Structure formats: C-alpha cells, structure tokens
C-alpha cells in the first residue's frame, strides 16, 4: 500500500477519525495495531503469518530476558537474536545462495530462488533485535519496566504496536525500543504538533511525488541494455539524477512517516539530515539513513570492539560493519560491494585522520568544498551498485561512459534531469548557507511560501506513481 495511494489515504483518515474520540481513547493502541496489520497485509495477507510469528517470538524472548531466571537471560537473548537473523537470512538471502552455489534450474537451487521476500523484513527483524538487546541491557534498571512491563498481555500488545506501527513499517526509520516504547500512552487531539506534521508531510510528498517520481521517468535508462546507446555526458547526468532520486525517494518516505506518526502523537527519529553537504564519509553516515547507521554503530560496530582494540581492529570493524550493512540492503553481491566501497572509504579516512599532522586545524573553505564534491562523487558512483544489481552491468555502464564520447547527447533529457534535481540542490544549499544569510533572507521568512509552492506542485506536477525504492529492502 503506497503512501500516495487512495487506499492508504482512506486507511489513515479512518484511523485518525476514531483515534481521538473519547470513547475510543483507551483503545488507541489497538486501533493502530489493526490499521497497521491492514496496511501490511493489504497486498498479500499470507505475509501476516510470518510477521505475527516473528512478533510472537520477540514478545516471549524479551519478556524472558527481563523476568526469566538470571542464569538463562543471556541464553534467551542469544537465541532471540539468532532467530531474528535466521528469518532475515532465510527469506532474504536464500535466492542469492541458490543462484550462487546451486543449480537454479532444479533441486535445492530451484527451491531457494523461489522463496518470496516479505516486504519490510529487514526493518522489522532489526527492530526485534533492538527490543531484545535494549531489554537485556536495561533489565536491572527501573526503566526496563517501560520496555518490558510486568503484564505479559500488555507487553505483547505494546511489542506488536512497536514493530507494526504503519508509518515506519515498510521502510523505516528503524525504531529503537528504548526510544519508542516509553511513548506509549494516551494521546490527545490538542497535543498534535500540526506545524511539524504539515511541514514534514508536504516536503516528503513533494520529494517523492514531484522529484523522485519525475526523475524515475529518465533514470530508467540506466538499466541494461538501454544505457549502451546513451552519450557519455548523458550517462553521467543520469547517474547524478539517480543520486538525487534515491535521496528524494527515501528522505521523502521518512518525512512522510514522521508527519503521519506525529498526527497520532508519536515522535519518530529523524532519518536524514542534508547528507549531500557532507565533507567526509563519516559525516555522510551521520546524515544518511541515520536510523540504520546508528543501529549498525550501537548493535554491531561497538559490540565488535569499535575503536577500543587498536587501529587495525578499528579499520577492520568499520569495513565489516559497512559490508554487512550493504548486504542488509539486498540479496545481491552488488550490495556487498557497495558496502565494501563505503567500508574502505571509512577505514581509509580514519587512517588518514589518525596519521594526519593537522588533526585539530580547520580546513580552508575551498578544501571543504573540494572534499564535499569528492564525497558526493564517490557516493553517487557507488549508487550504481544499487541501480544495477548485476555487477557485469556496472562494468558495462562505466565502459559506456568512456566509450560513448562520440554519441550526441539528448539535451532535453539532460535539461529534464537537471531541472528536477535543482530543488534538492537548493534544499541542501539553503541549509548550508543558513548561518551566512542576513536576517532579511532567512529561510524562515520564505518557508511558508515554499511549502505552499510545494503543495501546488504536488497537485499539478506529480510524476507517475511508483514504489518507494527502499520497499525492496
């Protein structure tokens, strides 16, 4: 069910209409659970069985981690985490294993490649892990009762709501138990942050429906074999356009999720913070898909040892974390390469920082600009491994950039991509220059007009509706 579909609009309005009625206030959580299960099972109700089974195991495991015998708590935690990872591995990576190590035409190979990928599985399994780990870490503290309350039935209801809450269910942000579960309480209509919701919804729908959906009409040329007939300059511009598209698509989803959650009285964590202004790879990952990068840091990088076991282990931990983060995105070796690219970049950057002679000195402005351009170019090139999951196609695309210099570019296509990329460029530059602008030119003075213009563009100039890119993960 797409966020910009009539079905989703109907579901959200119907849920909102009864949610704040005084006679239903004590059932607010149940109302949102029902809405969330309808949302998730709308296209394929059979997937609800796996989803609910996963939730049930996490309910029992997290409760046992806090209230079970002390001697078994760590064992239960380990089994629960392994269970979540096993579900993710089986349903997400079986086709990759079947096509790589077996004959995909028959036998076990044919069986593995036919296993369906439940939508949102990468997100809800990670949220199950956060619940287990957070409950285990806080089991001796008073706050653990906010995560795993003594009543098993109420805990089951809260856990189901935590994992299923429909604004974030399919593509995040990845929720952390210690941030979301304490928010569960009665909500009141008068407390809705209307301005926050309006700004996030308008900006999110604009990024998705106007920018991402319009750019998708041209970036489809990046697919093999279409790109082979394109000029070198056009191939570069199309890749730039895809970099803008994937940001607009995913950041748009995240902003919509924040806005809808706000309407129901819940605050989700920000998932994007103007990532394309980053002047280093570490900064990029503090700004891009923040909920994933913080998850990887808290639940993988630090448990691996982080930077506490010497320089070499630090570099290795960075690489391994990003390699696994790449594989989390999809069941194809191209995602592993994408993660390895970023892991190498982070490790090399850390090495240079550790051995640099000017660690504490600020870089000149022109060096910051140059560094930002290099980071953006690297990130943009790496998106090829997202768009083209066949590695040989990536090689052919790069070869076409070098070989198609004689092909005449389509100026209309280039102009189209640049035109719809311009709002995202302006979006980042305005943020970057906010402290440099005089008071009369402050963004806040024009924000209302900008949101009005975006709303007008949503109504009059939306592209052909398509799935969010991160739905496949």
List active site positions.
329
From CA 84, how far away is CA 58, in angstroms rounded? Answer: 8
- Mention every residue, 6+ apart, whose C-beta is less than 8 A from residue 207: 247, 248, 249, 251, 252, 255, 424
The SS3 of residue 306 is: coil
Q: Maximum distance among all alpha carbons in the chain?
A: 72
3-state secondary structure the chain: CCCCCHHHHHHHHHHHHHHCCHHHHHHHHHHHHHHHHHHHHCCCCCHHHHHHHHHHHHHHHHHHHHHCCHHHHHHHHHHHHHHHHHHHHHHHHHHHHHHHHCCCCCHHHHHHHCCCCCCCHHHHHHHHHHHHHHHHHCCCCCCHHHHCCCCHHHHHHHHHHHHHCCCCCCCCCCCCHHHHHHHCCCCCHHHCCHHHHHHHHHHHHHHHHHHHHHHHHHHHHHCCCHHHHCCHHHHHHHHHHHHHHHHHHHHHHHHHHHHHHHHCCCCCCCCCCCHHHCCCHHHHHHHCCHHHHHHHHHHHHHHHCCCCCCHHHHHHHHHHHHHHHHHHHCCCHHHHHHHHHHHHHHHHHHHHHHHCCCCCCCCCHHHHHHHHHHHHHHHHHHCHHHHCCCHHHHHHHHHHHHHCCCCCCCHHHHHHHHHHHHHHHHHHHHHHCCCCCCHHHCHHHCHHHHHHHHHHHHHHCCCCCCCCHHHHC
Find, among 411, 384, 333, 395, the residue nearest to 222 by Cα. Answer: 384
């Amino acid at each position: 069910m797409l966020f910009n579909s009539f079905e989703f609009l109907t579901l959200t309005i119907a849920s909102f209409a009864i949610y704040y009625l005084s006679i239903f206030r004590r059932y607010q959580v149940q109302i949102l659970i029902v809405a969330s299960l309808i949302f998730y099972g709308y296209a394929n109700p059979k997937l609800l069985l796996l989803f609910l089974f996963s939730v049930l195991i996490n309910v029992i495991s997290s409760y046992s981690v806090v209230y079970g015998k002390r001697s078994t708590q760590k064992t239960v935690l380990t089994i629960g985490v392994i269970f979540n990872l096993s579900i993710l591995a089986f349903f997400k990576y079986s086709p990759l294993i079947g096509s790589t190590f077996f004959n995909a035409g028959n036998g076990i190979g044919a069986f593995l490649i036919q296993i369906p990928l439940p939508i949102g599985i990468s997100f809800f399994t990670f949220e199950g892990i956060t619940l287990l780990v957070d409950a285990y870490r806080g089991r001796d503290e008073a706050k653990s009762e906010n995560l795993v309350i003594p009543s098993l039935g109420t805990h089951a209801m809260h856990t189901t709501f935590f994992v299923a809450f429909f604004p974030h269910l399919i593509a995040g942000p990845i929720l952390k138990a210690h941030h979301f579960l304490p928010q569960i309480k009665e909500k009141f209509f008068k407390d809705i942050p209307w301005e926050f919701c309006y700004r996030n919804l308008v900006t999110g729908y604009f990024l998705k429906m106007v920018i991402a959906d319009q750019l998708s009409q041209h970036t489809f040329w990046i697919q093999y074999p279409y790109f082979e007939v394109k000029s070198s300059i056009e191939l570069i511009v199309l890749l730039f356009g895809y970099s803008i598209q994937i940001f607009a698509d995913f950041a748009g989803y995240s902003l919509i999720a924040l806005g809808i959650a706000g309407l129901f009285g819940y605050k989700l964590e920000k998932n994007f913070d103007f990532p394309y202004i980053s002047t280093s790879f570490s900064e990029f990952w503090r700004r891009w898909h923040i909920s994933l990068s913080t998850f990887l840091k808290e639940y993988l990088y630090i448990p691996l040892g982080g930077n506490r076991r010497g320089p070499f282990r630090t570099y290795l931990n960075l690489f391994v974390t990003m390699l696994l983060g790449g594989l989390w995105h999809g069941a194809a070796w191209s995602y592993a390469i994408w993660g390895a690219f970023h892991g190498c970049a982070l490790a090399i950057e850390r090495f240079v920082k550790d051995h640099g002679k000017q660690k504490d000195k600020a870089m000149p402005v022109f060096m910051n600009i140059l560094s930002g351009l290099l980071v953006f170019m690297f990130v943009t090139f790496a998106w090829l491994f997202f768009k083209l999951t066949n590695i040989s196609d990536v090689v052919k695309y790069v070869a076409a950039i070098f070989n198609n210099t004689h092909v005449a570019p389509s100026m209309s296509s280039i102009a189209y991509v640049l035109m719809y990329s311009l709002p995202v460029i302006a979006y980042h530059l305005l943020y970057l220059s906010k402290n440099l602008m005089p008071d009369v030119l402050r963004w806040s003075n024009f924000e209302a007009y900008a949101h009005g213009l975006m709303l007008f563009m949503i109504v009059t100039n939306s592209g052909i509706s398509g799935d969010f890119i991160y739905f496949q993960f």
